[in-house]
Amino acid sequence: QKEVEQDPGPLSVPEGAIVSLNCTYSNSAFQYFMWYRQYSRKGPELLMYTYSSGNKEDGRFTAQVDKSSKYISLFIRDSQPSDSATYLCAQAGSYQLTFGKGTKLSVIP
Amino acid sequence: DAGVTQSPTHLIKTRGQHVTLRCSPISGHKSVSWYQQVLGQGPQFIFQYYEKEERGRGNFPDRFSARQFPNYSSELNVNALLLGDSALYLCASSLAAGVEQPQHFGDGTRLSIL
Return d(Cα A14, Cα A18) in angstroms, integer.
9
- Tell me the per-residue pLDDT of A13-48, one tens digit each, with 9 for 90 and over: 999 999 999 999 998 888 899 999 999 999 999 999
Q: Do A44 and B105 touch (CB under 8 A)?
A: yes
The dihedral of CA A42, A64, A48, A20: what is its sign? positive
Q: Name the residue facing B99 among A45, A94, A100 (closest C-beta).
A: A94
Q: Measured between CB atoms, does A98 come within 8 Å of chain B?
A: yes
- Tell me the per-residue pLDDT of B6-45, one tens digit each, with 9 for 90 and over: 999 999 999 999 999 999 999 999 999 999 999 999 999 9
Question: What is the rounded end-to-end Cα distance, in angstroms, of chain B?
Answer: 37
Neighbouring-strand partners of residue B92? B33, B105
Determine the distance in angstroms separating the CA of A59 from the nearest CA of chain B, rounded to an integer.
Answer: 19
Mutate to test the interface with A, among B6, B105, B110, B112 (most CBs of A within 10 A): B105
Mutate to test the interface with B, among A27, A86, A95, A99 (most CBs of B within 10 A): A95
Return d(Cα B30, Cα B27) in angstroms, integer.
8
CB distance A89 to A34 below 8 Å: yes
Return d(Cα B87, Cα B44) in angstroms, integer.
11
Return d(Cα A45, Cα A53) in angstroms, integer.
22
C-alpha B81, offset from chain centre = 16
Give the nearest chain B residue to A48 (CA atoms). Answer: B102
Which residues from chain A sit within 8 angstroms of residue B110, using beta carbons?
A: 41
Return d(Cα B103, Cα B43) in angstroms, integer.
13
Q: What is the dihedral of CA A38, A43, A48, A51, to 10 degrees?
A: 120
- Residue B94, CA atoms < 13 Å, CB-side half-sphere: 18
Return d(Cα A82, Cα A76) in angstroms, integer.
12
- Tell me the per-residue pLDDT of B56-112, one tens digit each, with 9 for 90 and over: 999 999 999 999 999 999 999 999 999 999 999 999 999 988 878 899 999 999 999
CB distance B84 to B64 below 8 Å: no
- Tell me the per-residue pLDDT of A80-106, one tens digit each, with 9 for 90 and over: 999 999 999 999 988 899 999 999 999
Give the nearest chain A residue to B5 (CA atoms). Answer: A43
Determine the distance in angstroms separating the CA of B79 from the nearest CA of chain A, rounded to an integer.
Answer: 23
Mutate to test the interface with A, among B53, B100, B103 (most CBs of A within 10 A): B103
